[in-house]
């Protein structure tokens, strides 16, 4: 049985061959895939070459979006970037930093602090950072207008030693020491003088403030350092406790006034140095104390044959009962020549009656102030 034909109606093989014969002759031996691939490869090579040439032409241009210390230098050449950084970063640093303490102003200049920024190195680093990666990606980003997001810190250099010296100088010149309360003695008595607080600059805080101003000019070039309040150790409230005893010698009135905790406790009649051998005026203190002391005669002309000798306690010893040394050879002592009291009769010492000197001796510790008016 003859197989059923699958050819479409009107199919004529002879006519088809005759019609397509010229086309078949022209395309004999054609291989379409290698030709297409070769063409595409050539296009790729050309595109890559063009991208490389484009990227190479921008080898000295910093990519858009690159900043140094917040200053935009994207799209600039290295030289132009250096100029912009010099204007916007370095120029503000040349103005001095001023420290204000009360009504006083102190300045440290950029030169004195040795301030600087390596703008050349920063521009080179910006170029290097903007050219990371494959050149083809950089070319495509540039052609597409895409920008990077790089902000390189601008490290400000300065001399830490210079800043510290400056801060210590400011602290020294503005230091106000606390003043303790004290007494101002006169022949008539004691006047209390009040205390006052001191002030000092916190040096470590000032150094930090100056360094901050040197590195970040946008934050201001004037700083006000914190001040530390220094309180006195002695105030009017506790002044009396620091003076358990005080002696005033009033030569003109021939009086010795003894103060206990700055209150007058006793007034004694005394004798003082005669003319030419006056009791020396000034502020002294009790330097030594002795009971029934010997008399060490000074090498003075008035001592005559006794000069330089030591007279033991007894009738020939004019120093009776007690001795309180005040200034060199001068002191307070007892006497049995009561008629001399109330006069200028001694050789420089202060004479008291024996009962009075014993009473005073028992109340006066060493280092008690003695003011001779």
Helix, strand, coil in percent for the chain, rounding step 5: 35, 30, 35
Judge whether 245 and 368 are in contact, CB under 8 Å: yes
3 state SS of 107: strand
Task: Characterise 350 by phi-psi region: left (phi > 0), alpha (psi -120 to 50), beta (else).
Answer: beta
Which of the 8 DSSP states describes residue 354? Answer: H
Q: Is 349 a catalytic residue?
A: yes
Angle at 172 (CA atoms; ends 213, 111), nearest 5 degrees: 40
Report the alpha-carbon distance of residue 354 to residue 203 in Å, rounded: 59
Q: Which of 196, 237, 333, 347 is the catalytic position? A: 333
The count of residues in the chain is 373
Report the alpha-carbon distance of residue 332 to residue 350 in Å, rounded: 5
Exposure string over 165-200, b if 16+ CB within 10 A, otherwise e? ebbeebbeebeeebebbbbebebeebeeeebeebbb
Catalytic center residues: 333, 349
């Amino acid at each position: 049985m003859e197989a059923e034909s699958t050819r479409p109606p009107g199919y004529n093989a002879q006519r088809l061959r005759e019609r397509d014969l010229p086309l078949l002759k022209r395309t004999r031996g054609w291989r379409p895939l290698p030709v297409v691939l070769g063409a595409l490869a050539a296009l790729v090579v050309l595109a890559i070459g063009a991208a490389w040439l484009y990227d190479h032409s921008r080898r000295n241009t910093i990519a858009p979006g690159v900043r140094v210390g917040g200053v935009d230098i994207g799209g600039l050449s290295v030289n132009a970037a250096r100029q912009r950084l010099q204007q916007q970063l370095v120029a503000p640093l040349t103005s001095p930093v001023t420290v204000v303490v009360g009504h006083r102003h102190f300045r440290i200049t950029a030169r004195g602090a040795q301030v600087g920024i390596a703008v050349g190195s920063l521009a080179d680093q910006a170029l290097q950072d903007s050219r990371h990666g494959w050149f083809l990606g950089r070319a495509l980003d540039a052609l597409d207008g895409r920008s990077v997001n790089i902000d390189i810190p601008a490290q400000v250099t300065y001399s830490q030693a210079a800043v510290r010296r400056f801060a210590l100088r400011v602290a020294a010149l503005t230091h106000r020491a606390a003043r303790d309360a004290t007494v101002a003695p006169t022949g008539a008595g004691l006047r209390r003088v009040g205390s006052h607080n001191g002030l000092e600059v916190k040096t470590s805080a000032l150094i930090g403030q100056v360094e901050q101003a040197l590195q970040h000019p946008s934050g201001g070039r004037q700083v006000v350092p914190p001040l530390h309040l220094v309180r006195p150790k002695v105030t009017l409230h506790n002044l009396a406790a620091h003076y358990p005893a005080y002696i005033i010698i009033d030569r003109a009135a021939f009086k010795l006034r003894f103060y206990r905790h700055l209150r007058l406790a006793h007034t004694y009649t005394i004798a003082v140095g005669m003319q030419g051998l006056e009791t020396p005026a000034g502020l002294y203190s009790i330097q030594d104390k002795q009971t029934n002391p010997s008399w060490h005669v000074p090498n003075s002309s008035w001592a005559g044959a006794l000069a330089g000798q030591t007279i033991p306690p007894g009738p020939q010893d004019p120093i009776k009962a007690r001795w309180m040394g005040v200034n060199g050879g001068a002191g307070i002592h007892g006497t049995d020549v009561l008629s001399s009291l109330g006069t200028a009769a001694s050789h420089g010492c202060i004479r008291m009656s024996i009962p009075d000197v014993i009473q005073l001796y028992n109340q006066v510790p060493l280092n008690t102030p003695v003011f001779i008016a």
